[in-house]
Each structure stands twice: as C-alpha cells, then as structure tokens.
Amino acid sequence: MAQGGTRAMTVLAVVTEFIDALRLIVEPREAQTGNVQVGGLGEFAYFTGQHLLVSGVALGVAVAVALPVGLYLGHRNKGEFVAVSVSNIGRSVPSLALLGLFIAFAGIGFGNVALVLCLIAVPPILTNAYVGVRQVDPDTVDAAKGMGMTGVEVMRKVELPLAAPLITSGLRLATVAVVATATIGPLADTLTLGRPIINNNVYGEAGPLAGAIAVAVITLLADQAVRIAGRAVTPKGLRLRSDQERESGPNVPSLKRGAQTA
C-alpha cells in the first residue's frame, strides 16, 4: 500500500514537471534572476525562428556544396575513398567538440554556428549522393548512352531520379543532425531553442525540459517535412512503400549499405 502511494506520488511529480515546462512555453514568468519576464509563446516563437533560420542556412550551404560533389564523384565513379572517409570522420567528431573549437578559435556568432552545422550536414549528404548514383545499374546507364544521351543528360534524366530515394535519406539524416545540434547555438550567442536549456539559471528547472520538448518536436517535424518533399520529387515508380521507407527511415548504416551514416 505504502509503496503504491509513493509510486503515485512519483508519477504525479513527473507529470507536474512536464506541465510546468509546457506552461513556460505558453506563458511568460519572472526569471530566476528576477526583474525580467522569460518564456511565453512570443519568446519561444523567436527561438524557433532563429533555430530554423540557422539550420536552414547551414543545410542550404551544405546542399549547395556537397550534393554536386557527391553526384559528380558518383557519376565519374571515382573518389570512393573521399566519400567514405568524409562520412567516417564526420561521425567521430562530436558536435559539441566541434562547436567548442569554433568558439575558442573563431569566436561566437550566427555565422560560426551556421558553419559548424554546415560541417555536420556535409558528410551524410555527400556520401548518400555518391552511393545513390553509384548504385544505379550500369546497364541502365549504358542503355541511356546508347540512346544518344550526353553525360549531363544521363546525370539529369537517369542517375538523378534513380538516386532520389537515397539522396532524400541523406538529406533527412543531415536535417535531423543539424536541427538537433542547433540546440547548442546559445553557447555561441545564437539564441535558438537551446537557450532555456543552456541558461537554466535564468529559466529555472522548467527551462531545460521546455527547450527539450520544443527541440524534439521541431526535429521530428523537420524530418517529416524533408521526407515529404523528397517523396514529391521522387518519380512515382521509385517511391518506397511505407515499410521500405521505415527501413531506410532514420536510417542507419549497415555493412551492405555501408556508406549511409548516422
């Protein structure tokens, strides 16, 4: 009986903490340090805007740089070493360490955070573009050439559509990693949704929890947005069934699909 009572109390305490965190998102309250109002929908909307802005800039630059390189290397069938090493190195450098190094040596600011996030986004985009083009059946490419297509046409009309599902899953990996990592932006003075997490001395106990909830929701939404966009540009016949999609889903590398990275 007594034990059941304690358990009920614990559950109640957990629920209360979550409700308190949600209330911090919705309505402002006085800061722990006093005198200022923090939290509330307005502030969280601003954080969300900054979060998405810095993530979007980083992803945009990463796509502009990594996608052409990956496609070109895959098309010319060379540079496997580069494509694979980039993804391996990318995985073993912790994002916090990367941002720390940037802050220590390059300083703080929006640009530096965007650059760090961009470096995190490049490996999965590059590697998946490379593998996507490489795994296109050589016979298909030969047939396309036989029909008189030039290299550019083969790329644009054959390889790119066939590689679309893998390119999309690379973009999803990059998006999840970038939006998740943007959380540590406030360390470099970029006020993302990580602000109430990192400045919990101002926001109090509810701060980290509120930030974490917001970040988790934003990340899952961003992942789904990229999935749907990728699906829209993938030719109908190549779209994965939902069960296959789950399999390539948040997608983890295995030996066979060795180049897809976490």
Residues lying near other proteins in the complex (CB under 8 A) are found at 13-14, 17-18, 88, 91-98, 100-101, 103-105, 176, 179-181, 183-184, 187-188, 194, 197, 208-209, 211-213, 215-216, 219-220, 223, 243, 246-247, 249-250, 252-256, 258, 261-262
Q: Cβ contacts of residue 21 below 8 Å, gap of 6+?
A: 206, 209, 210, 213
- Give the Cα separation of 164 and 171 in Å (integer): 10
Least distance to other proteins, CB of residue 92, Å: 4
Nearer residue to other proteins within complex by CB, 91 or 156: 91
- Give the Cα separation of 19 and 16 in Å (integer): 5
Contact status, residue 169 vs residue 158, Cβ threshold 8 Å: no
- Give the Cα separation of 86 and 122 in Å (integer): 8
Looking up tokens 């059941």 gives 4
Least distance to other proteins, CB of residue 207, Å: 10
- Give the Cα separation of 257 and 253 in Å (integer): 6
Tell me the CA distances in angstroms from 104 to 86, 112, 119, one per residue in order: 24, 11, 17
Least distance to other proteins, CB of residue 125, Å: 18
Least distance to other proteins, CB of residue 183, Å: 5
Nearer residue to other proteins within complex by CB, 41 or 101: 101
Least distance to other proteins, CB of residue 150, Å: 38
Nearer residue to other proteins within complex by CB, 144 or 193: 193
Contact status, residue 208 vs residue 162, Cβ threshold 8 Å: no
Nearest to 190 by CA among 89, 116, 81, 101: 116
Nearer residue to other proteins within complex by CB, 147 or 216: 216
Tokens for 55? 């993530």
Least distance to other proteins, CB of residue 146, Å: 34
Nearer residue to other proteins within complex by CB, 155 or 206: 206
Nearer residue to other proteins within complex by CB, 35 or 242: 242
Contact status, residue 123 vs residue 91, Cβ threshold 8 Å: yes
User: How many C-beta atoms lie closer than 10 Å to residue 197's C-beta?
Assistant: 20
